[in-house]
Structures are given as structure tokens and as C-alpha cells.
Amino acid sequence: MLTKHEKELIAKIWDKMIPVASDIGAECLLRMMTTFPGTKTYFAHLDIRPGSPHLRSHGKKIVLAIAECSKDISSMMVTLAPLQTLHAYKLRIDPCNFKLLCHCILVTLAAHMGDEFNPVAHAAMDKYLSAFAAVLAEKYR
């Protein structure tokens, strides 16, 4: 699915995002909830105003999970197994929302990285995030 170069590029990008995980994650979530208002239903119990501690905390968890998987993409299924179960059986998140979030992550990365997020990086990240969303949705099948 991904070349060695693409895997290295993805790991490098996510390594840079770790120090700003709360900011990036919160922006992705806010972008998703603004663009796709139906996704707010899963966060009704949280304060989802811009900059809220809930939004920043959950956003950070998302970015750190994506960054962790980027370190060893070949074991993504194992790394994400607990999150698959949580989202499918306990939270009952519609798996379509994973794709929506991944799109918002791409937009956020492009906004923050500027020229560094060139077409090669964009294509590699799109493939990676598509795989990430597919793996999260695996328990729904």
C-alpha cells in the first residue's frame, strides 16, 4: 500500500505533530463538527467550543493514536484493536465518520504545514489515513 519512502514521510510528519497534538487534534475535531454537524451527536456530553479542554483532550488522543500507528504501519491492526472495539461496540460510532475525520485531518495538516505538505506528502497521508479509517471500521463487518 505504501512505499518505504511514503512510510518514512508519514512517520516524520506525525513525529512533528506530537508536540502540538492538542492543537492539531482539536482543530480537526472542530473542523469535522462544523463541516459535518451530524458528527456532533457523538460528543453531546462534551464541551465542544473552540479551545475547550474536552476538545483539546480528545483531539490529542486522536493525534497520538495516529502518530503511534505511523511508527509501524504494518502492525496497525494490532495497535488499533482496542480502539476498534471501543468505537464499534461501546461508543457505536458510525464508521462513515472515520472517513470524515480523516478528510478534516488532511485539510488541517495542509493548513499547518504549508509547502511542506506537497503533493507527495498529501498522497501518502491520504493513503495512510484511508487505511487508518478502514482498520478502525473493521469490527463493523
Express each pLDDT in 13-44 by its tens digit: 999 999 999 999 999 999 999 999 988 887 77
Q: How many domains does the chain have?
A: 1
CB-count burial class (<10 Å; 0-12, 13-18, 19+) for 5: exposed
> What is the average pLDDT across 54-76?
90
Q: Domain containing 105: what range?
A: 4-140
Statement: residue 47 has pLDDT above 80: yes
- pLDDT bucket at 89, cuts 50 / 70 / 90: low
How much is the pLDDT for 85? 67
Higher pLDDT: 4 or 42? It is: 4
Higher pLDDT: 129 or 89? It is: 129
Judge if pTM exceeds 0.75: yes
Looking up residue 99, the CATH number of its domain turns out to be 1.10.490.10
Q: How far is CA 92 from the centre of its chain?
A: 17
Are 41 and 3 in contact, with CB atoms under 8 Å apart? no
Q: Count the Cβ atoms, other than its own, within 10 Å of residue 112.
A: 15
How much is the pLDDT for 127? 96
